[in-house]
Amino acid sequence: MTNRVDSLTIPAPDALVWRIAVRRAVPGKMNDYLAYYRAEVLPGLRKAKASGQIAGSTIAIRGVGAPSGEFTTVTYYANFAGIDGGDPLVQALGREAADRINAKSAEFSTATQVFVRRRIADLSF
């Protein structure tokens, strides 16, 4: 079970490709991660969406059945070619700004797993 953080979501209702990163917050740092994401990551992702590099994004905190402190970050794309474009923050903000933002993430969380899913419209609602 996951609980989406609506205030940190950029809707992408028809995105066909999802890049999902399962992350684990440093103990006691979940709120710090969410504040960092709101202040630094989300504006860059909004810029990436406005320029068509991504279709949207979201964060969901994992609940029942997941280890404590886990959450997912999802970046939505219109197609697989979008993933080939690389880090949307680099595309939207430039390498230097993206590297600074991405480096700060390590203070609050670690990635445990990354995978890609394709939405099948006939099987989705």
Query: Which domains, and CATH codes, for the chain?
Result: 2-119 (3.30.70.100)
Model confidence at 108, pLDDT cuts 50, 70, 90, reads very high
Query: pLDDT of 4-34, one tens digit each?
Result: 999 999 999 889 999 999 999 999 999 999 9
79 pLDDT exceeds 70? yes
Nearest to 27 by CA among 124, 108, 116: 108
106 pLDDT exceeds 70? yes
Output the CA–CA distances (angstroms, integers) from residue 120 to 38, 43, 50, 101, in the order listed.
Answer: 30, 29, 25, 33
Query: pLDDT of 61-76, one tens digit each?
Result: 988 877 788 999 999 9
Nearest to 39 by CA among 8, 61, 75: 8
Model confidence at 47, pLDDT cuts 50, 70, 90, reads very high
What is residue 2's predicted lDDT score, i.e. its pLDDT?
83
Which residue pairs from 120-125 have beta carbons closer than 8 angstroms and sit at least 24 positions apart in sequence?
121/14
In this predicted model, which residue has the larger pLDDT, 92 or 121?
92
Residue 62, C-beta contacts closer than 8 angstroms, at least 6 positions apart: 1, 2, 22, 70, 71, 72
